[in-house]
Structure 1
Amino acid sequence: MKQLNSSELSSNASVSPGTFILNPSWNYNGLIPSVVLSFSFLLGVPGNIAVIIFKPNFQHLSSVSQKLMLNLVVSDLLCLLTLPLWIYAFLYMWTFGLVACKLLTFFSYCSSYGSRLTVTVLSVQRYLLVVHQKNWTHHTGVRLLLVLLWLVSIILSIPPLVFRQVSTGQNTRLCESQYSSEAQWITVLLVEGLVGFTIFFLVVFSYTRLQKKVKQAAFFNNPQTTRLITSIIVSLLVFWVPYLFFNVLSAAAIFLHNEEFFKYCLKALYTVRALLFVNSCLNPVLYAFTSHIFGCKRKLFS
């Protein structure tokens, strides 16, 4: 396999929100992802701002759920606000310098982790609320939970901050991750994959158990609830699992020194990574409506 700092490979070493191939000769390849990112920005930013202003269905929620919902919306909004610079860099090249490269990447990772961890906490909180009738009302504990959530997000976002560099080639300037060893590279990919799959399985477990509890009462067994729960799980499955799957396969390809398989994984990542931001557009709709339904169910079950 080629050296880790080669432009062809290292620019795709850790492909995630805020990581793009920035080669001006690849305008055609960057067009479709840029359209997807533009769509996410144009719909997601107004959608998340609308939820912050109007707080749909928040009257049905406990104060804990309201804080978590607002944290999710703010996380998604912060993640989406980075898109204009990434779209420009995707279509042309990185022209903003090393400090901006590191900070913008860190900001993208941190807000993305904040969103996914909030989704996880919301899922577990709803599971405990509906299935086990446990309502967390201690406001100090909620604040500490949110501080811990963002602290974990910051810690998980440190590797991009450390490894991201600006490299210059013939007519190119790339904001890319560069590693000093294959072990370093594999570790970053596997940690990201492990965190992502853990989040996915916690969300699926929580909503599956919650749906089973709801179905025990015939009055609450309605298609709307099933569709909303299915939408949450399917959105994570469609937008995040392919990315995490190819991340792990990339680590395996590096370990096996299989360059052809590694290039295939990078091409797949190039396609699926732009879809990650679409999930930030769907979150306001999915979680606002499910908050209304499960807020009402919690009152009737209690």
Structure 2
Amino acid sequence: TNTDTDTYVTFEMGDNDSAVSTLPGYEYDSAVTSVSPCEYTDINNFGRMFLPPFYAIIFNISLLGNGLVLFIMYKFESLNTVTNIFLLNLVASNLIFTSSLPFQAVYHHSEWIFGLVACKLVNSIYFLGFYSSVFFLTLMTFDRYLAVVHVVFATKQRRSCYALVLAAVVWMVSVLATLESFFGHVVLEDPVLKRICEDNSNPEHKIMGTYSQFVLFFIFPLVVILYCYIRIGLRVISSRMKGKHRTVKLIFVIVVLFFLCWSPYNVILLMMEQVTDPCDSSLNYSKYVTHNIAHLYFCINPVFYTFLGRKFQNHVRRLLVKEVPCLKTHLTTSGTSRSFS
């Protein structure tokens, strides 16, 4: 999928079938070797005004929110527990993703000014953050399933080395999945947009196409997560395991938030694969809007740590009391714990 230029339509021109340009709102007619304007060029103009401040807001809030989570974990928590290792990696995935947004903000405001290497790296970082977030959400859910449903097995097998190995596997698979984006993105000269950073690989040769991405990073995680939470819910209800409720609820909300943010975009991508007209303004506009709504996940995600994590709330209160002693009479705190939930 094209992450940087949602409404740009790539076309090819010339006898040698070499890609030479990508114009906003134009489609290529090979019979007359000319271009005709599509009806959604106003989307691009709107994006130039809307996206830079939108990306800036997401970047700053995500940096502050996820950075606070990391600081609290480092300050008050044991980082070698299974839950905290997975949570630490999930927050790192969010930060990796948001680190690409300042470059995209500048890009949408004018043109790509950062060169070929940065073009490849920024898009690879985007996908690395996305892929690893999906994997870690699925992994955290499966780990909760083991801890609640298969208690005896989890007690014997859930060690920090187990979490570290799985986290390393997730990062390795995610990096391998981003290589296609790294090698496919190039910087092109455009008569209207000047320099653009575009995926120039042949769609027929792409492994991580729309369908494979839809199955691996949407359908598969959804099936695993639904199964795990159905089993967790039944076990918690039948055994009245009150101590597990808060941790399960926290991870459940994080997962639901992710799919609420990313489901519309994936559905639109799947619909666009069935449409032959690249200038379908309704679908292109829907893709444009849902793609940027999906970015909100990385901004809102840390907020739910604050509102649903009792121990996180307690750590924040302890930090405030330590830095601002006059708040001690207004805030109550309790002892530390080993599980960040």
What TM bracket, shorter-length normalisation? 0.7 to 0.9
Deviation string, structure 1 residues 212-244 (Cα, Å, up to 9, x no partner): 322334574999789756633431232111111
Distance of 1:233 and 1:114 partners within structure 2: 14
Q: Higher helix fraction: Structure 1 or Structure 2?
A: 1
Preserved CA contact (<8 Å) 2:82 2:163 = yes
Deviation string, structure 1 residues 46-92 (Cα, Å, up to 9, x no partner): 11111111129975997111111111111111211221111111121
3-state DSSP class of the match of 1:171?
coil
Tell me the equivalent position of 1:269: 287
Tell me the equivalent position of 2:117: 99
Tell me the equivalent position of 2:32: none
Query: Aligned-residue CA RMSD in angstroms?
Result: 3.6
Deviation string, structure 1 residues 138-189 (Cα, Å, up to 9, x no partner): 3333222111100110111122112111122123121111233x52369622
Distance of 1:109 and 1:241 partners within structure 2: 16
Distance of 1:9 and 1:101 partners within structure 2: 19
Residue 151 of structure 1 pairs with residue 172 of structure 2: yes
Which aligned pairs between 1:62-211 and structure 2 lie closer than 5 A? 63-133=81-151, 134-135=154-155, 136-172=157-193, 173-180=195-202, 182-184=203-205, 188-197=209-218, 198-211=220-233
Preserved CA contact (<8 Å) 1:10 1:177 = no
Distance of 2:186 and 2:230 partners within structure 1: 42
Distance of 2:150 and 2:268 partners within structure 1: 36
Distance of 1:273 and 1:106 partners within structure 2: 17
Preserved CA contact (<8 Å) 1:57 1:291 = no
The alignment-based identity, stated in percent, is 23
Deviation string, structure 1 residues 92-123 (Cα, Å, up to 9, x no partner): 11111111101111122112211221111101
Preserved CA contact (<8 Å) 2:78 2:84 = no
Distance of 1:248 and 1:194 partners within structure 2: 11
Name which of 224, 241, 247 aligns with 2:263: 241
Q: Which amino acid aligns with 1:277?
A: H
Preserved CA contact (<8 Å) 2:184 2:200 = yes
CA gap of 1:58–1:206, structure 2 versus 1, over 3 A, is farther
Segments of structure 2 that go 5 or more residues without pairing to the other structure are 1-8, 13-18, 27-40, 312-337
Distance of 1:222 and 1:67 partners within structure 2: 18
CA gap of 1:226–1:131, structure 2 versus 1, over 3 A, is closer
Segments of structure 1 that go 5 or more residues without pairing to the other structure are 12-22, 294-298
Range with greater deviation from structure 2 (98-107 or 57-66): 57-66
CA gap of 1:287–1:200, structure 2 versus 1, over 3 A, is farther
Name which of 22, 43, 61 aligns with 1:7: 22
Range with greater deviation from structure 2 (72-81 or 29-38): 29-38
Distance of 2:222 and 2:75 partners within structure 1: 25
CA gap of 1:30–1:238, structure 2 versus 1, over 3 A, is farther
Range with greater deviation from structure 2 (78-87 or 128-137): 128-137
3-state DSSP class of the match of 2:209?
helix
3-state DSSP class of the match of 1:246?
helix
**Greater RCO (Cα-Cα under 8 Å, separation 6 or more):** 1
What is the number of residues matched between the two proteins?
Answer: 278
Distance of 2:278 and 2:138 partners within structure 1: 35
3-state DSSP class of the match of 1:95?
coil
Preserved CA contact (<8 Å) 2:145 2:228 = yes
Q: Offset of 1:268 from its aligned partner?
A: 1.8
Q: Offset of 1:264 from its aligned partner?
A: 4.0
Deviation string, structure 1 residues 117-139 (Cα, Å, up to 9, x no partner): 11111011011111221244333
CA gap of 1:161–1:127, structure 2 versus 1, over 3 A, is same
Q: Higher strand fraction: Structure 1 or Structure 2?
A: 2
Distance of 2:76 and 2:298 partners within structure 1: 19
Tell me the equivalent position of 1:279: 297
Q: Which amino acid aligns with 1:184?
A: H
CA gap of 1:265–1:184, structure 2 versus 1, over 3 A, is farther
Scaled by the length of structure 1, the TM-score of the pair is: 0.77
Deviation string, structure 1 residues 246-295 (Cα, Å, up to 9, x no partner): 22222333xxx34444x5433322111122222122333435776769xx
Tell me the equivalent position of 1:19: none
